[in-house]
Structure 1
Amino acid sequence: MARSGVLNRVQDLWVSLAGVATSFPSDGVRVVVAAESRLCPPAWAGIVVLGSSGIATAPDAAAARFLRESLTERPLRSAVVAERWSGEHGVVDVLGPASLAYLDEQEFRPATGAADIAQLPPGHPDLDRLVADVSEDDVAESGIDEITSPVFVVRDRARVAAAAGYRQWPRSVAHLCVLTSSHLRGRGLASAVASAAVAEALQNQLLPQWRARPESSRRLARRLGFRELGDQLSIRIAADQVDSNGDSNRSGRGRP
Protein backbone atom coordinates (compact mmCIF):
# COMPACT_ATOMS: atom_id res chain seq x y z
CA MET A 1 0.00 0.00 0.00
CA ALA A 2 1.33 3.44 -0.94
CA ARG A 3 2.35 5.68 1.93
CA SER A 4 -0.50 8.09 1.14
CA GLY A 5 -2.92 5.16 1.34
CA VAL A 6 -1.65 4.24 4.80
CA LEU A 7 -1.97 7.85 5.98
CA ASN A 8 -5.56 8.06 4.72
CA ARG A 9 -6.41 4.81 6.48
CA VAL A 10 -4.85 6.02 9.71
CA GLN A 11 -6.67 9.35 9.54
CA ASP A 12 -9.95 7.44 9.07
CA LEU A 13 -9.15 5.47 12.22
CA TRP A 14 -8.63 8.52 14.41
CA VAL A 15 -11.67 10.30 12.97
CA SER A 16 -13.75 7.28 13.96
CA LEU A 17 -12.31 7.41 17.49
CA ALA A 18 -13.31 11.07 17.81
CA GLY A 19 -16.91 9.91 18.09
CA VAL A 20 -18.44 12.81 16.14
CA ALA A 21 -18.46 13.91 12.52
CA THR A 22 -15.13 15.54 11.69
CA SER A 23 -12.18 15.25 9.33
CA PHE A 24 -8.54 16.21 9.04
CA PRO A 25 -8.30 19.68 7.42
CA SER A 26 -5.83 20.58 4.70
CA ASP A 27 -3.68 22.19 7.39
CA GLY A 28 -3.88 23.24 11.02
CA VAL A 29 -5.93 21.51 13.72
CA ARG A 30 -9.70 21.12 13.55
CA VAL A 31 -11.31 21.30 17.02
CA VAL A 32 -14.69 19.68 17.73
CA VAL A 33 -16.79 19.02 20.82
CA ALA A 34 -16.91 15.29 21.54
CA ALA A 35 -17.81 14.29 25.09
CA GLU A 36 -17.36 10.58 24.29
CA SER A 37 -14.09 10.96 22.39
CA ARG A 38 -11.62 8.07 22.55
CA LEU A 39 -8.70 10.33 21.63
CA CYS A 40 -8.19 11.01 25.35
CA PRO A 41 -9.37 10.08 28.86
CA PRO A 42 -12.93 11.14 29.81
CA ALA A 43 -13.31 14.91 30.39
CA TRP A 44 -9.90 15.62 28.83
CA ALA A 45 -9.06 17.18 25.47
CA GLY A 46 -7.31 15.03 22.89
CA ILE A 47 -5.08 16.10 20.00
CA VAL A 48 -3.84 13.92 17.14
CA VAL A 49 -1.54 15.28 14.43
CA LEU A 50 -0.96 13.14 11.34
CA GLY A 51 0.88 14.37 8.29
CA SER A 52 0.24 18.07 7.71
CA SER A 53 -2.85 18.51 9.89
CA GLY A 54 -4.62 17.39 13.03
CA ILE A 55 -7.90 16.95 14.85
CA ALA A 56 -8.70 17.78 18.47
CA THR A 57 -11.65 16.86 20.65
CA ALA A 58 -12.89 18.78 23.68
CA PRO A 59 -15.38 17.64 26.33
CA ASP A 60 -17.57 20.76 25.99
CA ALA A 61 -17.94 23.98 24.02
CA ALA A 62 -15.97 26.09 26.49
CA ALA A 63 -12.99 23.73 26.39
CA ALA A 64 -13.21 23.74 22.60
CA ARG A 65 -12.97 27.55 22.57
CA PHE A 66 -9.99 27.35 24.91
CA LEU A 67 -8.28 24.91 22.52
CA ARG A 68 -8.99 26.99 19.41
CA GLU A 69 -7.62 30.12 21.06
CA SER A 70 -4.54 28.26 22.29
CA LEU A 71 -3.81 26.75 18.88
CA THR A 72 -4.33 29.91 16.82
CA GLU A 73 -1.21 31.08 14.98
CA ARG A 74 0.93 28.31 16.45
CA PRO A 75 3.09 25.88 14.46
CA LEU A 76 1.22 22.61 13.82
CA ARG A 77 3.70 20.38 15.63
CA SER A 78 3.58 22.50 18.77
CA ALA A 79 0.08 21.11 19.34
CA VAL A 80 1.60 17.76 20.36
CA VAL A 81 4.60 19.01 22.35
CA ALA A 82 4.18 18.40 26.08
CA GLU A 83 6.39 21.30 27.15
CA ARG A 84 4.28 23.74 25.14
CA TRP A 85 1.14 22.77 27.09
CA SER A 86 2.90 22.47 30.43
CA GLY A 87 3.63 26.20 30.18
CA GLU A 88 0.07 27.10 29.21
CA HIS A 89 -1.96 28.80 31.93
CA GLY A 90 -5.14 26.79 32.43
CA VAL A 91 -3.73 23.37 31.56
CA VAL A 92 -3.41 21.28 34.71
CA ASP A 93 -2.14 17.96 33.33
CA VAL A 94 -0.64 16.51 30.16
CA LEU A 95 -0.42 12.92 28.89
CA GLY A 96 2.03 12.18 26.10
CA PRO A 97 2.94 12.78 23.48
CA ALA A 98 2.95 9.27 22.08
CA SER A 99 4.28 8.66 18.60
CA LEU A 100 1.98 6.90 16.13
CA ALA A 101 3.78 4.52 13.77
CA TYR A 102 2.48 2.09 11.14
CA LEU A 103 3.70 -0.36 8.53
CA ASP A 104 2.39 -2.52 5.71
CA GLU A 105 3.64 -5.79 4.19
CA GLN A 106 6.26 -4.12 2.00
CA GLU A 107 7.81 -2.21 4.91
CA PHE A 108 7.93 -5.05 7.44
CA ARG A 109 11.44 -6.14 8.43
CA PRO A 110 11.03 -9.32 10.48
CA ALA A 111 13.43 -9.88 13.34
CA THR A 112 16.10 -12.51 12.74
CA GLY A 113 17.47 -14.82 15.40
CA ALA A 114 17.00 -18.15 17.06
CA ALA A 115 14.45 -17.22 19.72
CA ASP A 116 12.08 -20.07 20.48
CA ILE A 117 8.67 -18.42 20.29
CA ALA A 118 5.56 -20.02 21.74
CA GLN A 119 1.92 -18.91 21.88
CA LEU A 120 -0.36 -18.40 24.86
CA PRO A 121 -4.01 -17.31 25.01
CA PRO A 122 -4.68 -13.76 26.26
CA GLY A 123 -4.74 -13.56 30.04
CA HIS A 124 -2.77 -16.77 30.58
CA PRO A 125 -1.49 -17.09 34.18
CA ASP A 126 2.13 -17.35 32.99
CA LEU A 127 1.94 -13.68 32.02
CA ASP A 128 1.36 -12.71 35.65
CA ARG A 129 4.99 -13.39 36.61
CA LEU A 130 6.19 -11.27 33.71
CA VAL A 131 3.99 -8.39 34.86
CA ALA A 132 5.41 -8.79 38.37
CA ASP A 133 8.94 -8.27 36.99
CA VAL A 134 8.30 -4.77 35.65
CA SER A 135 7.08 -1.42 36.93
CA GLU A 136 3.44 -0.38 36.89
CA ASP A 137 4.32 2.32 34.36
CA ASP A 138 5.87 -0.24 32.01
CA VAL A 139 2.80 -2.47 32.30
CA ALA A 140 0.50 0.44 31.53
CA GLU A 141 2.67 1.57 28.62
CA SER A 142 2.72 -1.93 27.13
CA GLY A 143 -1.03 -2.55 27.14
CA ILE A 144 -0.30 -6.22 27.80
CA ASP A 145 -3.65 -6.66 29.58
CA GLU A 146 -5.55 -5.51 26.47
CA ILE A 147 -4.32 -8.14 24.00
CA THR A 148 -7.04 -9.92 22.04
CA SER A 149 -4.75 -11.85 19.67
CA PRO A 150 -2.64 -14.88 20.59
CA VAL A 151 0.23 -13.82 22.88
CA PHE A 152 3.67 -14.59 21.47
CA VAL A 153 6.21 -15.33 24.19
CA VAL A 154 9.85 -16.21 24.75
CA ARG A 155 10.77 -18.05 27.93
CA ASP A 156 13.84 -17.91 30.13
CA ARG A 157 13.81 -21.40 31.55
CA ALA A 158 10.17 -21.78 32.63
CA ARG A 159 9.35 -18.09 33.03
CA VAL A 160 7.96 -15.85 30.30
CA ALA A 161 10.72 -13.33 29.54
CA ALA A 162 8.97 -11.32 26.82
CA ALA A 163 5.48 -11.21 25.37
CA ALA A 164 3.71 -9.45 22.52
CA GLY A 165 0.37 -9.43 20.81
CA TYR A 166 -2.17 -6.92 19.64
CA ARG A 167 -5.60 -5.58 20.38
CA GLN A 168 -7.84 -5.18 17.35
CA TRP A 169 -8.96 -1.59 16.94
CA PRO A 170 -11.59 -0.13 14.58
CA ARG A 171 -10.86 0.13 10.87
CA SER A 172 -8.95 -3.19 10.90
CA VAL A 173 -6.02 -1.80 12.89
CA ALA A 174 -3.88 -3.99 15.16
CA HIS A 175 -2.57 -2.05 18.16
CA LEU A 176 0.72 -3.72 19.20
CA CYS A 177 1.42 -4.51 22.86
CA VAL A 178 4.93 -5.59 23.94
CA LEU A 179 6.49 -6.25 27.35
CA THR A 180 9.90 -7.60 28.40
CA SER A 181 11.17 -8.54 31.86
CA SER A 182 13.22 -5.74 33.40
CA HIS A 183 16.06 -8.20 34.07
CA LEU A 184 16.28 -9.55 30.51
CA ARG A 185 16.27 -6.50 28.28
CA GLY A 186 18.87 -5.83 25.62
CA ARG A 187 18.85 -9.42 24.31
CA GLY A 188 16.55 -8.93 21.32
CA LEU A 189 13.64 -10.71 22.99
CA ALA A 190 11.21 -7.81 22.44
CA SER A 191 12.11 -7.73 18.74
CA ALA A 192 11.45 -11.46 18.41
CA VAL A 193 8.00 -11.48 20.02
CA ALA A 194 6.94 -8.16 18.46
CA SER A 195 7.95 -9.43 15.03
CA ALA A 196 5.79 -12.52 15.51
CA ALA A 197 2.82 -10.38 16.55
CA VAL A 198 3.24 -8.07 13.54
CA ALA A 199 3.41 -11.07 11.19
CA GLU A 200 0.17 -12.39 12.71
CA ALA A 201 -1.55 -9.03 12.23
CA LEU A 202 -0.45 -8.75 8.61
CA GLN A 203 -1.56 -12.32 7.92
CA ASN A 204 -5.01 -11.32 9.19
CA GLN A 205 -5.10 -8.31 6.83
CA LEU A 206 -4.75 -5.82 9.68
CA LEU A 207 -2.72 -2.59 9.76
CA PRO A 208 -0.17 -2.77 12.62
CA GLN A 209 -0.02 0.30 14.85
CA TRP A 210 2.81 1.07 17.29
CA ARG A 211 2.01 3.81 19.80
CA ALA A 212 4.89 4.66 22.12
CA ARG A 213 6.44 7.31 24.32
CA PRO A 214 9.85 5.83 25.37
CA GLU A 215 12.60 6.25 22.80
CA SER A 216 13.68 2.62 23.29
CA SER A 217 10.24 1.45 22.16
CA ARG A 218 10.27 3.80 19.19
CA ARG A 219 13.68 2.47 18.12
CA LEU A 220 12.38 -1.09 18.26
CA ALA A 221 9.43 -0.13 16.06
CA ARG A 222 11.72 1.49 13.50
CA ARG A 223 13.87 -1.64 13.36
CA LEU A 224 10.79 -3.63 12.38
CA GLY A 225 9.92 -1.16 9.62
CA PHE A 226 7.37 1.08 11.31
CA ARG A 227 7.24 4.70 10.18
CA GLU A 228 6.10 7.46 12.50
CA LEU A 229 3.24 9.35 10.88
CA GLY A 230 2.26 11.58 13.79
CA ASP A 231 1.66 12.03 17.49
CA GLN A 232 -1.14 11.91 20.06
CA LEU A 233 -1.40 14.05 23.19
CA SER A 234 -4.08 14.66 25.85
CA ILE A 235 -4.51 17.68 28.12
CA ARG A 236 -6.76 18.40 31.09
CA ILE A 237 -8.07 21.95 31.18
CA ALA A 238 -8.77 23.60 34.53
CA ALA A 239 -12.46 24.20 35.26
CA ASP A 240 -11.74 27.75 36.41
CA GLN A 241 -10.69 28.68 32.89
CA VAL A 242 -14.38 28.96 32.03
CA ASP A 243 -16.43 31.81 33.48
CA SER A 244 -20.14 31.72 34.29
CA ASN A 245 -21.01 32.60 30.68
CA GLY A 246 -19.06 29.64 29.36
CA ASP A 247 -16.29 31.76 27.88
CA SER A 248 -12.60 30.99 28.16
CA ASN A 249 -10.88 32.99 30.87
CA ARG A 250 -7.75 34.20 29.15
CA SER A 251 -6.50 36.61 31.84
CA GLY A 252 -2.92 35.80 32.72
CA ARG A 253 -2.60 32.96 30.18
CA GLY A 254 1.05 33.00 29.25
CA ARG A 255 2.84 31.86 26.12
CA PRO A 256 5.69 29.36 26.60
Structure 2
Amino acid sequence: MALKPEDPSGGFQHSKVVDFINEKMARHVKGLEFYVENTSLSWVEVEDKLRAILEDSAMPSKAKEACAWGSLALGVRFARRQGQLNACRVQWLHEFAKLHKSAARTLASDLKALTAQQEMERKEAAYQLQLTQAKLAKVQKERDLLRCKLLHTELQSPQVREQITEGADLATANGTGTERAGVPTPSPPAAAFKPGAPPQASPHKEPSDVRLKSNMVAQGKEPQGDKRDTNLQWQRRPLSRRPGDWDCPWCKAVNFSRREICFCCKRGIWLQKP
Protein backbone atom coordinates (compact mmCIF):
# COMPACT_ATOMS: atom_id res chain seq x y z
CA MET A 1 0.00 0.00 0.00
CA ALA A 2 1.33 3.39 -0.99
CA LEU A 3 -1.09 5.34 1.17
CA LYS A 4 -1.54 4.63 4.87
CA PRO A 5 -4.63 5.79 6.78
CA GLU A 6 -2.64 6.44 9.99
CA ASP A 7 -0.19 8.74 8.18
CA PRO A 8 -1.10 12.37 9.23
CA SER A 9 0.89 13.85 6.35
CA GLY A 10 -1.05 11.87 3.74
CA GLY A 11 -3.96 14.28 3.80
CA PHE A 12 -6.73 11.61 3.93
CA GLN A 13 -8.79 10.89 7.03
CA HIS A 14 -11.10 8.03 5.91
CA SER A 15 -9.76 4.52 5.32
CA LYS A 16 -12.23 3.77 2.51
CA VAL A 17 -10.89 6.70 0.49
CA VAL A 18 -7.33 5.50 1.06
CA ASP A 19 -8.19 1.93 0.00
CA PHE A 20 -9.93 3.15 -3.16
CA ILE A 21 -6.95 5.26 -4.24
CA ASN A 22 -4.52 2.43 -3.46
CA GLU A 23 -6.64 0.09 -5.57
CA LYS A 24 -6.60 2.49 -8.53
CA MET A 25 -2.80 2.97 -8.27
CA ALA A 26 -2.24 -0.82 -7.95
CA ARG A 27 -3.69 -1.51 -11.40
CA HIS A 28 -0.26 -0.72 -12.82
CA VAL A 29 3.20 -0.81 -11.29
CA LYS A 30 3.96 2.62 -12.68
CA GLY A 31 1.33 4.25 -10.45
CA LEU A 32 2.85 3.04 -7.14
CA GLU A 33 6.35 3.92 -8.35
CA PHE A 34 5.20 7.39 -9.42
CA TYR A 35 3.73 8.06 -5.95
CA VAL A 36 6.71 6.77 -3.95
CA GLU A 37 9.38 8.45 -6.09
CA ASN A 38 7.79 11.94 -6.10
CA THR A 39 6.76 12.39 -2.42
CA SER A 40 9.74 14.70 -1.77
CA LEU A 41 9.26 16.84 -4.88
CA SER A 42 7.22 20.01 -5.29
CA TRP A 43 3.86 20.02 -7.00
CA VAL A 44 5.25 21.86 -10.04
CA GLU A 45 7.80 19.11 -10.63
CA VAL A 46 5.18 16.39 -10.09
CA GLU A 47 2.86 18.06 -12.60
CA ASP A 48 5.66 18.33 -15.16
CA LYS A 49 6.40 14.57 -14.83
CA LEU A 50 2.71 13.70 -15.13
CA ARG A 51 2.41 15.81 -18.29
CA ALA A 52 5.39 13.98 -19.79
CA ILE A 53 3.77 10.59 -19.02
CA LEU A 54 0.44 11.63 -20.50
CA GLU A 55 2.10 12.90 -23.68
CA ASP A 56 4.05 9.67 -24.07
CA SER A 57 2.15 7.61 -26.70
CA ALA A 58 4.05 4.45 -25.82
CA MET A 59 2.78 4.49 -22.23
CA PRO A 60 -0.24 2.21 -21.66
CA SER A 61 -3.53 3.77 -20.64
CA LYS A 62 -3.60 1.83 -17.39
CA ALA A 63 -0.20 3.26 -16.45
CA LYS A 64 -1.37 6.76 -17.30
CA GLU A 65 -4.49 6.26 -15.17
CA ALA A 66 -2.46 4.85 -12.26
CA CYS A 67 -0.01 7.80 -12.46
CA ALA A 68 -2.96 10.22 -12.51
CA TRP A 69 -4.36 8.70 -9.29
CA GLY A 70 -0.84 8.84 -7.82
CA SER A 71 -0.52 12.51 -8.73
CA LEU A 72 -3.91 13.12 -7.06
CA ALA A 73 -2.64 11.49 -3.86
CA LEU A 74 0.56 13.52 -4.10
CA GLY A 75 -1.46 16.73 -4.57
CA VAL A 76 -3.49 16.03 -1.41
CA ARG A 77 -0.25 15.21 0.44
CA PHE A 78 1.38 18.47 -0.70
CA ALA A 79 -1.75 20.45 0.25
CA ARG A 80 -1.68 18.88 3.69
CA ARG A 81 1.98 19.70 4.10
CA GLN A 82 1.40 23.28 2.90
CA GLY A 83 -1.46 23.68 5.39
CA GLN A 84 0.78 22.50 8.22
CA LEU A 85 3.48 24.96 7.13
CA ASN A 86 0.93 27.76 6.94
CA ALA A 87 -0.34 26.88 10.41
CA CYS A 88 3.21 27.01 11.73
CA ARG A 89 3.73 30.36 10.04
CA VAL A 90 0.49 31.73 11.48
CA GLN A 91 1.50 30.55 14.93
CA TRP A 92 4.88 32.17 14.52
CA LEU A 93 3.24 35.40 13.39
CA HIS A 94 0.97 35.35 16.47
CA GLU A 95 3.93 34.86 18.73
CA PHE A 96 5.85 37.58 16.91
CA ALA A 97 2.87 39.95 17.27
CA LYS A 98 2.69 39.18 20.99
CA LEU A 99 6.39 39.87 21.28
CA HIS A 100 5.99 43.19 19.48
CA LYS A 101 3.02 44.09 21.66
CA SER A 102 5.01 43.35 24.79
CA ALA A 103 7.93 45.36 23.46
CA ALA A 104 5.60 48.27 22.65
CA ARG A 105 4.21 48.21 26.19
CA THR A 106 7.73 48.15 27.59
CA LEU A 107 8.75 51.06 25.38
CA ALA A 108 5.66 53.03 26.42
CA SER A 109 6.45 52.40 30.08
CA ASP A 110 10.08 53.42 29.60
CA LEU A 111 9.01 56.54 27.71
CA LYS A 112 6.61 57.50 30.50
CA ALA A 113 9.31 57.00 33.12
CA LEU A 114 11.81 59.00 31.04
CA THR A 115 9.29 61.83 30.60
CA ALA A 116 8.65 61.94 34.34
CA GLN A 117 12.38 61.98 35.01
CA GLN A 118 12.94 64.81 32.52
CA GLU A 119 10.10 66.80 34.09
CA MET A 120 11.63 66.30 37.52
CA GLU A 121 15.04 67.37 36.24
CA ARG A 122 13.48 70.43 34.60
CA LYS A 123 11.80 71.45 37.85
CA GLU A 124 15.05 70.90 39.74
CA ALA A 125 16.95 73.02 37.20
CA ALA A 126 14.33 75.78 37.44
CA TYR A 127 14.55 75.71 41.23
CA GLN A 128 18.35 75.89 41.13
CA LEU A 129 18.11 78.79 38.67
CA GLN A 130 15.79 80.67 41.02
CA LEU A 131 18.19 80.08 43.91
CA THR A 132 21.09 81.32 41.78
CA GLN A 133 19.17 84.44 40.76
CA ALA A 134 18.29 85.14 44.40
CA LYS A 135 21.93 84.71 45.43
CA LEU A 136 23.03 86.95 42.57
CA ALA A 137 20.56 89.65 43.62
CA LYS A 138 21.82 89.37 47.20
CA VAL A 139 25.43 89.66 46.06
CA GLN A 140 24.61 92.70 43.93
CA LYS A 141 22.87 94.32 46.89
CA GLU A 142 25.88 93.63 49.09
CA ARG A 143 28.15 95.04 46.37
CA ASP A 144 26.11 98.26 46.19
CA LEU A 145 26.18 98.52 49.98
CA LEU A 146 29.95 98.06 50.02
CA ARG A 147 30.31 100.74 47.36
CA CYS A 148 28.27 103.14 49.46
CA LYS A 149 30.36 102.32 52.52
CA LEU A 150 33.56 102.77 50.52
CA LEU A 151 32.40 106.12 49.20
CA HIS A 152 31.42 107.22 52.70
CA THR A 153 34.81 106.09 54.02
CA GLU A 154 36.59 108.00 51.27
CA LEU A 155 34.60 111.10 52.15
CA GLN A 156 35.55 110.72 55.81
CA SER A 157 39.24 110.06 55.11
CA PRO A 158 41.79 112.82 55.99
CA GLN A 159 43.24 112.82 52.48
CA VAL A 160 39.89 113.80 50.97
CA ARG A 161 39.50 116.54 53.57
CA GLU A 162 42.93 117.86 52.69
CA GLN A 163 42.04 117.87 48.98
CA ILE A 164 38.86 119.81 49.74
CA THR A 165 40.80 122.27 51.89
CA GLU A 166 43.48 122.73 49.23
CA GLY A 167 40.82 123.29 46.57
CA ALA A 168 39.10 125.87 48.72
CA ASP A 169 42.37 127.68 49.38
CA LEU A 170 43.15 127.66 45.66
CA ALA A 171 39.73 129.09 44.85
CA THR A 172 40.19 131.79 47.47
CA ALA A 173 43.66 132.65 46.17
CA ASN A 174 42.43 132.97 42.59
CA GLY A 175 39.47 135.09 43.66
CA THR A 176 35.81 134.30 43.39
CA GLY A 177 34.85 137.23 41.21
CA THR A 178 37.83 137.25 38.80
CA GLU A 179 37.27 138.38 35.29
CA ARG A 180 37.33 135.94 32.39
CA ALA A 181 38.40 137.05 28.92
CA GLY A 182 37.77 140.70 29.74
CA VAL A 183 34.16 140.10 30.89
CA PRO A 184 33.72 141.43 34.43
CA THR A 185 31.61 139.43 36.84
CA PRO A 186 28.69 141.55 37.91
CA SER A 187 28.68 142.40 41.58
CA PRO A 188 25.52 142.05 43.64
CA PRO A 189 23.44 145.20 43.98
CA ALA A 190 23.86 147.18 47.15
CA ALA A 191 21.11 146.55 49.63
CA ALA A 192 19.06 149.57 50.54
CA PHE A 193 19.68 150.85 54.05
CA LYS A 194 16.66 150.80 56.25
CA PRO A 195 16.47 152.49 59.67
CA GLY A 196 16.57 149.93 62.47
CA ALA A 197 17.64 147.08 60.18
CA PRO A 198 20.70 145.03 61.15
CA PRO A 199 23.85 145.71 59.17
CA GLN A 200 24.30 143.58 56.02
CA ALA A 201 27.01 140.98 56.03
CA SER A 202 29.81 141.44 53.55
CA PRO A 203 29.49 139.21 50.48
CA HIS A 204 33.24 138.64 50.56
CA LYS A 205 34.26 135.79 52.84
CA GLU A 206 37.56 135.22 54.52
CA PRO A 207 39.73 132.20 53.70
CA SER A 208 38.98 130.77 57.11
CA ASP A 209 35.27 130.84 56.33
CA VAL A 210 35.89 129.05 53.04
CA ARG A 211 38.01 126.37 54.75
CA LEU A 212 35.35 125.91 57.44
CA LYS A 213 32.65 125.55 54.79
CA SER A 214 34.74 123.02 52.83
CA ASN A 215 35.24 120.93 55.98
CA MET A 216 31.51 120.97 56.63
CA VAL A 217 30.85 119.83 53.04
CA ALA A 218 33.29 116.92 53.49
CA GLN A 219 31.45 115.88 56.67
CA GLY A 220 28.12 115.86 54.83
CA LYS A 221 26.76 119.03 56.48
CA GLU A 222 25.29 122.02 54.75
CA PRO A 223 27.38 125.16 55.23
CA GLN A 224 25.69 127.73 57.42
CA GLY A 225 25.73 131.34 56.43
CA ASP A 226 23.69 134.17 55.12
CA LYS A 227 21.11 132.58 52.84
CA ARG A 228 20.38 135.90 51.23
CA ASP A 229 24.02 136.35 50.35
CA THR A 230 24.15 132.81 48.86
CA ASN A 231 21.08 133.43 46.75
CA LEU A 232 22.61 136.64 45.46
CA GLN A 233 25.80 134.80 44.55
CA TRP A 234 24.22 131.97 42.52
CA GLN A 235 21.91 134.42 40.83
CA ARG A 236 24.98 136.19 39.41
CA ARG A 237 25.38 134.60 36.00
CA PRO A 238 27.98 135.54 33.43
CA LEU A 239 26.98 137.85 30.68
CA SER A 240 27.70 135.22 27.99
CA ARG A 241 27.78 131.43 28.50
CA ARG A 242 30.62 129.62 26.80
CA PRO A 243 31.18 125.94 26.00
CA GLY A 244 32.56 124.07 29.01
CA ASP A 245 30.76 126.14 31.65
CA TRP A 246 28.86 123.96 34.09
CA ASP A 247 25.94 124.33 36.46
CA CYS A 248 26.35 123.28 40.07
CA PRO A 249 23.67 120.66 40.87
CA TRP A 250 23.62 121.74 44.53
CA CYS A 251 23.17 125.51 44.35
CA LYS A 252 22.43 125.89 40.59
CA ALA A 253 25.24 128.42 40.16
CA VAL A 254 26.98 128.73 36.78
CA ASN A 255 30.74 128.18 36.94
CA PHE A 256 33.48 128.74 34.42
CA SER A 257 34.98 125.69 32.76
CA ARG A 258 38.35 126.24 34.51
CA ARG A 259 36.79 125.79 37.94
CA GLU A 260 36.69 122.44 39.68
CA ILE A 261 34.93 123.79 42.79
CA CYS A 262 31.71 125.77 42.78
CA PHE A 263 32.42 129.40 43.65
CA CYS A 264 29.11 129.58 45.54
CA CYS A 265 28.72 126.45 47.69
CA LYS A 266 32.42 125.41 47.49
CA ARG A 267 31.56 121.84 46.48
CA GLY A 268 33.85 120.05 44.04
CA ILE A 269 32.92 118.31 40.79
CA TRP A 270 33.86 114.94 42.28
CA LEU A 271 31.13 115.43 44.88
CA GLN A 272 28.57 116.03 42.16
CA LYS A 273 29.11 112.61 40.58
CA PRO A 274 29.51 110.05 43.41
TM-score range, shorter chain: under 0.3
Q: Which structure has the highest helix share of the two?
A: 2
After TM superposition, the score normalised by the length of structure 1 is 0.21
Using CA pairs under 8 Å that are at least 6 residues apart, name the structure with larger relative contact order, 1 or 2: 1
After TM superposition, the score normalised by the length of structure 2 is 0.20
Max radius of gyration: which structure?
2
